[in-house]
Structure 1
Amino acid sequence: MHQVTSPTPSQIRRWRRYLAAERAERDIYRDLAERRDGRERDILLGLAEAERRHEQHWLELLGEHQSPAPTPDARTRFLGFLAKRLGFLFVLALAQRAEGRSPYDVDADATERMAADERIHGEVLRGLAARGRTQLSGVFRAAVFGANDGLVSNLALVLGIGATGAPPHVVLFTGIAGLLAGALSMGAGEYVSVKSQRELLAASRPDPDSQTALPHLDVDANELALVYRARGMAQGEAEEHAREVLATLYLDADTPPDDVDPDEAVGSPWHAAGSSFLFFASGALIPVLPYLFGMTGIDAVLLASGLVGVALLGTGAIVGILSGTSPLTRALRQLAIGFGAAAATYLLGLLFGATLA
């Protein structure tokens, strides 16, 4: 272990900061473990134990400088607050990003084993979150796409019509019509899309009734080997596997194509449609609110744009957190795309308004 006889004030401050972070992360993993059972609980407790080992490293280096107990930084405290109150997947995603920001790779006072631990912790959390992300992906995609489309399309519609010089009541009713038409279209489109995707996946799954034919196949020359060859096995491997299956009269369903569950892969079409409808409607309502409360002119335009901007930043940040990427980057990307589309439509409205005049 790396020993320092006379640590500098800078080192002491850094070690105390690391110590506080390790203790907070240990507590976060323990809190998460209390909410799970079985394999997930064991894995989270294993992560907590690793953080305890890291904590001990900094305690030994600090010696007499470990008291009073250091306080973790605001980001770590906020993660701990969320861990007690938010959903399991959301906290895992935040913890995954936190592990990815570990400074141990470039800090000479941290051991190579500690740096390797932190890198692996991120992958462990990614694995724990994988199933939840898969289950969430269908409805989440519909919700995010619906909300973003409602925000951007209705803001663009309202601003474009308003820029032509149309009366305020026309702008209001145009926005309401856009809300209803878009929400219904999005809901119907999501239902058809997800339903079709489920049917496509289901068509690739083996027919359970095919097991009834197994006892009647020739052990040495049979078409079961062709099934496995069609699913990617080499000829010799497929023939050997077919003989093993016939020996047990069991159709192996462990190959990847058989393991795809449409419910997990794409979600329920009704859930996707409902999420898309509700989130589009809620997003599309925001740019209409100023006009709904009687505002007109540039004041209504600025307020509608500001409200939509805040909502776009929020949806982008949520996407970033749950996908394990930068919330700020995703938020700014959503904002730039949304405002770009709205600005283009507003300029077209001004052009058409001038032409009509």
Structure 2
Amino acid sequence: MKHAEKHRTERIGWLRAAVLGANDGIVSTASLVLGVAASGVGSKAVLVAGIAGLVAGAMSMAAGEYVSVSSQSDTERADLAKEVEELASAPEQERAELAEIYVRRGVDPELASTVAAQLMEHDALGAHARDELGISEVSTARPIQAALASAGAFSVGASLPLLIALLFPASSLMWSVPGSSLLFLALLGSLAAKAGGASIVIAAWRVTFWGALAMALTAGAGALFGGAV
């Protein structure tokens, strides 16, 4: 009976984009709310700034992810096109190159040559893409998926400190927003660690530390420049 084994590496693409988006959404929006609130303006201005930050941040995340992952995808396509040309012009050299890769991984030379020949007969481009270029179905670039995941996750993350700013009066935002945001970040880090099979404590500490630092610096800037303007 065939055993379909699942690995956590299959989640790398969407998990990275989702965690990055949600983390940025919480940290940047909470920091923005704190910075504006520290300047002494009213609740309406804080909410307007927070909403504007949510929209701008989500679009920035989507555009940034799409552009960066598209560049990766372009590179993968260029490498694959080059590999197609080499397979057509020098198949024996490519077979020897593939066999050498297996030898370096510890396979007996004779067996490596046999395996390389059989794999190339079955799917030459797939074998070279996977073992020579490191391109697989799991790691291949997906620009649209990454953009949508980042923008959606950013929006969800950004809505959390905005909800706190909406529910609490302006006078209490300096403690309610950072306190709740650090809890949200710790929860996010824990969920991401569980999904990826990593240490929950380390992940939670990592995101809360950098989130606290970002909010503290932004609040300080708001208080400093708010009083000067």
Change in CA separation of 1:211 and 1:326 when aligned onto 2, cut-off 3 Å? closer
* CA-CA distance at 1:134 after TM superposition: 2.6
Task: Quote the residue 1:181 is aligned against.
Answer: 56
2:54 aligned partner, one-letter code: L
Query: Which one of 196, 208, 216 corresponds to residue 343 of structure 1?
Result: 216
Query: Which one of 94, 112, 122 corresponds to residue 227 of structure 1?
Result: 94
Task: Quote the residue 1:38 is aligned against.
Answer: 2
Change in CA separation of 1:207 and 1:266 when aligned onto 2, cut-off 3 Å? closer
Matches of 2:58 and 2:161, distance apart in 1: 15
Task: List per-residue Cα deviations over 1:142-163 (Å, max 9, x = no partner).
Answer: 1000000010011111101111
Matches of 1:137 and 1:280, distance apart in 2: 17
Counterpart mapping for 1:100-119 below 5 A = none
Task: Quote the residue 2:193 is aligned against.
Answer: 320
Task: Quote the residue 1:271 is aligned against.
Answer: 145
* Preserved CA contact (<8 Å) 2:62 2:151: yes
Task: List per-residue Cα deviations over 1:331-355 (Å, max 9, x = no partner).
Answer: 1221111011101111121111233
* CA-CA distance at 1:325 after TM superposition: 2.5
Change in CA separation of 1:311 and 1:203 when aligned onto 2, cut-off 3 Å? same
Give the 3-state SS of the residue equivalent to 1:205 in structure 2. Answer: helix
Query: Which one of 126, 129, 134 corresponds to residue 9 of structure 2?
Result: 134
Matches of 1:156 and 1:329, distance apart in 2: 23
| Rg (Cα) greater in structure | 1
Counterpart mapping for 1:24-103 below 5 A = 38-40=2-4
Query: Which one of 139, 153, 169 corresponds to residue 44 of structure 2?
Result: 169
Higher relative contact order (CA 8 A, sep 6+): 2
* Preserved CA contact (<8 Å) 2:31 2:215: yes
Task: List per-residue Cα deviations over 1:138-194 (Å, max 9, x = no partner).
Answer: 111010000000100111111011111122211110111000000011011111222
* CA-CA distance at 1:200 after TM superposition: 1.7
Matches of 1:208 and 1:329, distance apart in 2: 41
Q: TM-score, normalised by structure 1?
A: 0.53
Matches of 1:140 and 1:296, distance apart in 2: 35
Change in CA separation of 1:204 and 1:300 when aligned onto 2, cut-off 3 Å? same
Q: Give the count of matched residue pairs.
A: 217
Change in CA separation of 1:159 and 1:172 when aligned onto 2, cut-off 3 Å? same
Give the unaligned 5+ runs of structure 2.
Answer: 102-108
Matches of 1:209 and 1:309, distance apart in 2: 50
Change in CA separation of 1:349 and 1:251 when aligned onto 2, cut-off 3 Å? closer
CA RMSD of aligned residues (A): 3.4
2:91 aligned partner, one-letter code: L
* Preserved CA contact (<8 Å) 2:37 2:170: no
Change in CA separation of 1:300 and 1:231 when aligned onto 2, cut-off 3 Å? same
Change in CA separation of 1:206 and 1:227 when aligned onto 2, cut-off 3 Å? farther
Query: Which one of 179, 199, 214 corresponds to residue 306 of structure 1?
Result: 179
Give the unaligned 5+ runs of structure 1.
Answer: 1-36, 41-127, 215-222
Give the 3-state SS of the residue equivalent to 2:80 in structure 1. Answer: coil
Task: Quote the residue 2:106 is aligned against.
Answer: none
* Preserved CA contact (<8 Å) 2:87 2:94: no
2:59 aligned partner, one-letter code: L
Q: Once the two structures are aligned, what percentage of the paired residues are identical?
A: 32
* Preserved CA contact (<8 Å) 1:187 1:277: yes
1:233 aligned partner, one-letter code: E
Task: Quote the residue 2:104 is aligned against.
Answer: none
* CA-CA distance at 1:230 after TM superposition: 6.1
Task: Quote the residue 1:89 is aligned against.
Answer: none
Matches of 1:290 and 1:207, distance apart in 2: 53
